[in-house]
Structure 1
Amino acid sequence: MDRLDYSIIELFTEQPGVSVLSAARELGVARPTIQARLNRMREKGILIDIVPKLAPDPMGFPVQAMTMLQIDQRIGHGGLHDDLLAVPEVIDFSTMAGPWDILLRIVARSNSDLQRVIDKIARLEAVSRTSTSIVLRDLARNRLLPLMDEATKDTGSPGRSS
C-alpha cells in the first residue's frame, strides 16, 4: 500500500458514488491505474467493498444500542450467526474474548421497539444472557482512514494533497 492507494480510498470514502473515471481525473492518474489498484486491494483483502454509508435514523430507526451476549457454552455459536442475521435490526456483530461472547449493534424505532428486539434476541436458543446500553451519539465510527494513512506514510507515491 502506498499514498496513491490511500488517496483512492480517501476519495471513495468522501464521495461513495464517484466513478472510477472521475476518481482517475481527480487524482491525476489513468483510469486503468485506479481500477488495478482497487482490484489489488480487494485481492489482498484490504478493501472489502465500496458501499454507501446508510444512516438508520432517517429510515425510521433513531434508537441505537450496543448489546453484549453470553452464549450457552453447551450449545456454542452453532446457528447463532444465521439467527442474528435473521434479525434486521442487528446491523453489526462480532465475537469477543472475555466475559461476553458477542457484541451487537442494533437499531430500533423507539425504546419500546428496542425492548422487543432485545427480547427476540434473548429468546434465541444459544443466548444465555444479554446486557444492553443505548448509544446516545456516535462520535466516530469506522475510523479506518487514519489507520490507512499511518500504514502508507513515507511510501513516496504522490496522492491527493489534503
Structure 2
Amino acid sequence: MVIPADKTTIAKYIPDELDRRIIAHLRADGRASLSKLSEALGVARGTVQNRLDRLVETGTLLGFTVRVRDDHEAQIRAVMMIEVTGRSTTQLTRRLRGIPEIHSLHTTNGNWDIVANIRAESLSDFDRVLREVRMIDGVSKSETSLLLTSI
C-alpha cells in the first residue's frame, strides 16, 4: 500500500526520536497493534496513533508490509554484481527485470554498476539465471555470491 503525500508537507517534517522508535518497532513487526506499540514505547496509545497518522500523512511511512520466513521463499538466494559496458543500462535493466528470479535491482558505485538480488527454487534454476544474465548484451562482467545464512 503506497500513500501519496504532499511534497511541501514532506519537506517540512523531520521525525524525532519517538518517531524513529515507532518506525524501528514497525520494521520488526509491521502488524503491531497500537496497544503493543504504546506499551513497548512507554507512551499513551493516542500518542502512538497521532504519531502514526502524521508519519503516514507526511509520507515518512509509505505503507505497511508483510515479512515472509526465509523457508517459505526460494531456497537459493544470491547477490550478483554486474558491470555494464557502453550506454546500454536502460535496455539491460529492462531485460533484467524480465527475469522472474531477480527479486530486486540496485545501482551502485565502485567497480560494479548494478547489483541484483536473486532468488531461485533450485541450483539448476540459479544456474539458468546466471547464464541468462551473462548473455545479455551490455553485461561485460559479473560476480555472484550465494547468501548462506541470515544473521
Please state if 1:38 is matched with 2:56. Answer: yes
1:13-92 matches, within 5 Å, as 13-18=27-32, 21-22=34-35, 26=39, 27-30=43-46, 31-40=49-58, 42=59, 46-59=60-73, 61-73=74-86, 75-92=87-104
Structure 2: which amino acid aligns with 1:8? I
Counterpart pick for 1:122 among 112, 116, 134: 134
Q: Deviations over 1:110-141 (max 9, x none)?
A: 222110111121222222222211111122xx
Conserved? CA contact 1:23–1:34, under 8 Å: no
Conserved? CA contact 1:24–1:34, under 8 Å: no
Conserved? CA contact 1:56–1:107, under 8 Å: no
What is the TM-score normalised by the length of structure 1?
0.68
Q: Structure 1: how far apart are the matches of 2:65 and 2:84?
A: 32
3-state SS, counterpart of residue 4 of structure 1: helix
Structure 1 partner of 2:19:
5
Aligned length: 132
Structure 2: which amino acid aligns with 1:52? V
Conserved? CA contact 2:103–2:119, under 8 Å: yes
Identity among equivalent pairs (%):
26
Structure 2: which amino acid aligns with 1:101? D
Q: Structure 1: how far apart are the matches of 2:139 and 2:68?
A: 28
What is the TM-score normalised by the length of structure 2?
0.72
Conserved? CA contact 2:77–2:147, under 8 Å: yes
Structure 1 alignment gaps of length 5 or more: 140-162
CA separation of 1:107 and 1:121: change in aligned 2, threshold 3 A: same
Conserved? CA contact 1:67–1:133, under 8 Å: yes
More helix by share: 2
Structure 2 partner of 1:113:
125
Larger deviation, residues 120-129 vs 108-117: 120-129
Conserved? CA contact 2:85–2:139, under 8 Å: yes
Aligned-CA RMSD value = 2.3
Q: Deviations over 1:11-48 (max 9, x none)?
A: 312221235x55675441423442113322x2xxx544
Q: Structure 2: how far apart are the matches of 1:132 and 1:118?
A: 8
Structure 2 alignment gaps of length 5 or more: 1-14
